[in-house]
Structure 1
Amino acid sequence: MAERNHRGRPQRRPDQPPAAPGTATRRAALSLLDAALRKGLPLEAALDSAGRGLSRPEDRALALAIAAEVLRRLPDLDSLIDSATQRPLPDDAKARSVLRMALVQTLVLGTPPHAAISTALPLLEGGPRRLVHGVFGALMRREATLPELPTLPPAVVERWRKAWGNDVVTSAARLIAAPPPLDLCFPPERPPELEGISFAPGHLRLPRGQAVVGMTGFGEGQWWVQDFSASVPARLLGRGERRRAFDLCAAPGGKTMQLAAAGYEVTAVDASESRLARLRENLDRTGLRAEVVTADLLEWQPPEPADVILLDAPCSATGIFRRHPDVLHRVRPSAIQALAKGQAGMLRRAADWLTPGGTLVYSVCSLEPQEGEEVARAFLAERSDFRVAPPIGGELPEQLATSPDGFVRLLPGLFEDQGGADSFFIARFVRSGG
């Protein structure tokens, strides 16, 4: 058994060679996988704890990238591992997770096999190093590869195939194969001096992998990072003309900045002070103005009603799986049901804060109809003073589909040849009167 230091961590024996450079980064990645798969935590929420011993931002970024790539390819990595073992390793065995990481580094991230295994074995103090080394070596000698089209978790495939059909499931598998490109949002009248492709006014798409902070216009506040799909809800509210807007569940703030740039007097409300800190930083950087309120939406009471309300409600986030692949492995049907119930309560409460004749946009970055369509239909059944206002010609790109109900549903496959887009549900309601 390995000796332990005063903090309870495994301590290297005098006869053991020192760990290879980069082992600490892999240890952080292993902690991230444990947080997502065993504890059900989002990767980014677990990064501060898992990466506590990493002083360089690039090491933290690599740990996050390794864990995310494992989660993109988890079923296929496990199939490879199982093909090289006489008895299947338990799903939660450390040896399995270490093998997943070594394989994904070699087969996806381009790490040489000797470097991948030399940083993997030290993670198994007192564990089955010989087994892991043997399985990895056998797969390398076999010249094992991963399928071009990743395999999605079976439970996810079942849900999405039932809701959207096989084509959407196939598109989702293609999307998750790689991290997304970089989307910028900005006031349409002040485009940045950058080259890219655009889907709509105020949007620009660039290839991924660029350092955002050093890009032209970032320091001057000319733009902010926001996936195109996430920009659609605010687009359905049009120009502000100094009207009052509530951005509810506002952090990290992309929609707040859209509304402020469109000329609204914005009140941004969110329960998370830490997430609002990022919103305030972006407002300072871009020179845009908004009143920022830290409050629980179910307890907050506005001093006066608003002309427009944007409720981008907390949800399962399964629609942003290509950006956060952990959602496919940690979100359970019970959580989806609870989140849908919470959205209905928020929507019900927010509706009373809207002036007669005002517009309310409800959105979720979810691929689950239980969270989007079902919540919206139940709201309309309860509130006879609200009606759906479908997008009209020219408001949104023609590729965006409107359902027979008048809702907007962004599915995997949208803009796929240009790098894809996150999946969203969006409903625009108008209150009678005014």
Structure 2
Amino acid sequence: MKSASRDKPSSKKKPPADRPPAKPGLQARAAAAKILSAVVDRKLPLDGALDHEHGNPAYKALGEGDRALVRAILNTTLRHLPRIDAAIALLLDSPLPEGARALHHVLAVGAAQILYLDVPDHSAVDLAVEQANQDPRNRRFAKLVNAILRRLGREKEKILEEIAKIPPMPVWFLERLERAYGKEAAAAISESQLEPAAIDLTVKSDAAGWARKLNGEVLPTGGVRLAAFEGSIPSLEGFDQGEWWVQDAAASIPAKLFGDLSGKRVADLCAAPGGKTAQLIVAGGSVTAIDQSESRLKRLRSNLDRLGLKAETLVTDLTKFDPAELFDAVLLDAPCSSTGTTRRHPDVLWTKGPEDIAKLAGVQERLLRHALTLVKPGGAVVFSNCSLDPAEGEDVISRILQDTPNIERVRIDAAGWPGLESAITPLGEFRTIPAMLRMPATVASGLDGFYAAILRRVA
């Protein structure tokens, strides 16, 4: 007689049937929403999330085509986020529930595609609804996602017109810009960061010749700005020969402020990845490139090798650097909030805040005070960074000059910078903003926000 237990069905669960393959593009949208959450909610930098080796796992799992789509969605969403939020709010009868951040990011990613990217509306809607259905937190809102995004597509032009008056920048930073530059200039900066940055090259020589060869325009800085092109940077003429390197026009200014460095010993502090180091070498300097990161200096050495340039490199904590012989010139391009680079890094204004600016300004001042001890009497220190906030530029220099009697400001002559005269302040310092540098229609306009000042040790 069989035991009763054998007559009963097995209590073990059958292995689940294979799930149907995800809809094409779904994984890319899901990765974009996850990374948007990491940037906006957890203040993690976008570059780290999009790193091909150490980035977000959902991003790394994608093919290159989907990775490109994720980058486009995220850059667009972050550039336009205040307007996207406003568009969504216009179509909601009541605000999203507390704790519905995951739902917000699904809607924002969908809205960015409908409003600003060349993605079919039905695809953006369908994949956003599928995202909601696959997330237990959002499943009950799937119909809401469908309704909001479909209406957004139907009323796109009207909604775009209505949200156009909303500054595409966080309120906290826009208010700082208005105090520093006035409302009109702040609005221009805010709008300019919507445009992706151009590709600028610093050339060893013959800017006009390289502009002709590469279909570009010569910049007031002496570099070359490329027109839009298909392909990759390494495929361009002159790359393998080390005739030029990619460097935003504004970033090339600080090293140029020294002029001819023939026969001079120069220290480039915080040197990696090496664009400014290369400039100092080409200007004739015997350069010591210093950084506290060995991995960053490894990248600098690789860049210099391609360019056929040589520098001494030193891994050290700058604040403890005590050379046996003082330098003729020192460049300190200090770590900062990077708020001048939002055309390239639209996540910056969502991962930084006022407290970061204050902290970094303190770091910059400590580094600059030490940098001034490294230069000979009569030698020059150029201090620079890519922040738009005077707390990280003008205010630092002002404090240094007030309490350091053997240091003086060297005024920059606007006549020496045709095309960028408006970037020279009344005190003789450089202050570029992204809305500057109007270029011919064949290439993009604008440049990074940068600050630079020259200090001289008089004794």
Task: Give the TM-score normalised by structure 2.
Answer: 0.86
Paired residues in the alignment total: 421
Higher mean C-alpha deviation, range 397-406 or range 177-186 = 397-406
1:24–1:304: structure 2 CA closer, same or farther, 3 Å change rule? Answer: farther
Instruction: State the shift of 1:58 in Å.
Output: 4.2
Aligned counterpart, 1:409: 431
Say which SS state the counterpart of residue 197 (structure 1) adopts: strand
Identity of aligned residues (%): 38
- Matching residue within 125, 130, 144 for 1:117: 125
- Of the three residues 325, 329, 332, the one matched with 1:304 is 325
Q: CA deviation at 1:91?
A: 7.9
SS in 2 for 1:146: helix
SS in 1 for 2:70: helix
2:49 maps to: 46
2:149 — aligned with what?
136
Q: Residue 298 of structure 1: SS of its match in structure 2?
A: helix
* Cα 1:288/1:174, change in 2 over 3 Å: same
Q: Is the 8 A contact 1:235 1:395 kept in 2?
A: no
Of 178-187 and 276-285, deviating more is 276-285
- In the TM superposition, 1:8-407 aligns within 5 A as 18-48=21-51, 49-50=55-56, 53-54=60-61, 56-89=63-96, 90=98, 93-124=101-132, 125-126=135-136, 127=138, 128-144=141-157, 145-147=159-161, 151-189=168-206, 191-192=209-210, 193-200=213-220, 202-208=222-228, 210=230, 211-392=232-413, 394-400=415-421, 401-407=423-429
Question: Within 2, Cα distance between the matches of 1:91 and 1:217?
Answer: 53
Letter in structure 1 aligned against 2:95? P
Gaps of 5+ in 2: 1-15
Verify the 8 A CA contact 1:187 1:202 in the aligned structure 2. no
Contact 2:73 2:112 in 1 (8 A): yes
Deviation, structure 1 residue 367 = 1.0
CA distance in 1, matches of 2:117, 2:295: 32
Whether the 8 Å CA contact 1:180–1:322 is kept in 2: the answer is yes
Is the CA contact 2:273–2:299 (under 8 Å) kept in the aligned structure 1? yes
Alpha-carbon separation, structure 1, partners of 2:323 and 2:49: 33
Shift of 1:122: 4.0
C-alpha distance after superposition, 1:149-170 (max 9, x if no partner)? 7532221221111110122122
Q: Which structure shows the bigger proportion of residues in helix conformation?
A: 2
Higher mean alpha-carbon deviation, 353-362 vs 316-325, is at 316-325
Deviations 1:192-245 (A, max 9, x none): 332211223640011346421222222222111111000110110112213111
Deviates more, 1:39-48 or 1:56-65: 56-65
The one-letter amino acid of 2:225's match is R
Secondary structure at the counterpart of residue 352 of structure 1: helix
What is the CA–CA distance in structure 2 between the aligned matches of 1:402 and 1:304, rounded to whole Å? 33
> Which residue is 2:12 aligned to?
none
Matched residues in 1 for 2:401 and 2:124: separation? 55
Q: Is the 8 A contact 2:268 2:330 kept in 1?
A: yes
Task: Determine the C-alpha separation between the residues in 1 that align with 2:434 and 2:64.
Answer: 31
Partner of 2:452: 426
Letter in 2 for 1:71: L
Q: What value does the CA root-mean-square deviation take over the aligned residues?
A: 2.2
User: What does residue 7 of structure 1 align with?
Assistant: none
Contact between 2:262 and 2:284, CA under 8 Å: does it hold in 1? yes
Q: Label 1:198 to 1:63 Cα distance change in 2 as closer, same or farther (>3 A).
A: same
State the SS of the aligned residue for 2:251: helix
Q: Distance in 2 between matches of 1:340 and 1:219?
A: 39
Contact 1:412 1:423 in 2 (8 A): yes
Q: For 2:292 and 2:144, how far apart are their aligned partners in 1?
A: 47
Bigger CA radius of gyration: 2
TM-score (norm 1): 0.90
* Matches of 1:356 and 1:57, distance apart in 2: 54
Displacement of 1:262 after TM fit?
A: 1.3
Following superposition, the deviation at residue 138 of structure 1 comes to 1.9
Change beyond 3 A, Cα 1:273–1:130? farther
